[in-house]
Chain A
Amino acid sequence: NAGVTQTPKFQVLKTGQSMTLQCAQDMNHNSMYWYRQDPGMGLRLIYYSASEGTTDKGEVPNGYNVSRLNKREFSLRLESAAPSQTSVYFCASNSAGGPSYEQYFGPGTRLTVT
């Protein structure tokens, strides 16, 4: 049981480049989330997906797109990276709708945009 996995672990982009961050979970969870964490701060929600086929904006969605590919996978895309998107990105999942909403996090992707 791998839990929540993310790829890549590290990435450096130039301003204007695009990339997709991948996330997968093997816990049969309905809900998946993308967060960003800037230095010295808490996590902020970018987008979430309450179930397969649905996505909703969180607190800081500008500059990002997401795709809930299937129940296991939830990707985050930066179409035109900007230095302000330098951050650590975390994916999470939970079984919302079940008896517990406990969230489980992946190891994070450290992204630097130059």
Chain B
Amino acid sequence: GIQVEQSPPDLILQEGANSTLRCNFSDSVNNLQWFHQNPWGQLINLFYIPSGTKQNGRLSATTVATERYSLLYISSSQTTDSGVYFCAVADNYGQNFVFGPGTRLSVLP
């Protein structure tokens, strides 16, 4: 099955700093999503981005499907950005979703 890797595993930032999170996947996908799991455990949809680039406020994401990676950019980070960021992909049948291990982000005031 598809393998998903995320880097870095942990990231500590000062408030206001920018960061880039990476997701690599081992096979062709037709679904890729980024999620934020907040400290209360809630999973929040950030982007549905099987290809291309999207922006939402301070966050943006780019997926290069032909090279099997996706990037999540966080600009001007805030303490409320803390939590774990997951990348999840599905194969060409679109049903069997595989999550990466996550990047744990801590933003310090």
Interface residues of A (CB under 8 A from B): 31, 33, 35, 41-45, 48, 50, 56, 58-59, 88, 90, 96, 100-105, 107-108, 110
Contacts and interface: CB of A to CB of B under 8 A. Distances in A.
Contacts, number: 51
B23 to A, nearest CB: 11
A96 B97 CA distance: 12
Contact of A33 (B33, B86, B97): B97
Given A42-B100, A102-B48, 6 more contacts: A41-B102, A43-B99, A48-B95, A100-B48, A101-B94, A102-B45
B contact residues, range: 20 to 34
Given A42-B101, A43-B86, A102-B48, A90 B43 contact: yes
Contact of A101 (B30, B35, B102): B30
Interface string B41-59: 1110100100000000000
9 contacts: A42-B101, A43-B86, A44-B99, A48-B96, A58-B96, A90-B43, A101-B31, A101-B90, A107-B42
Nearest to B42: A107
A93 B96 CA distance: 12
B interface SS class:
strand
Interface of B: 1, 30-31, 33, 35, 41-43, 45, 48, 86, 88, 90, 94-102
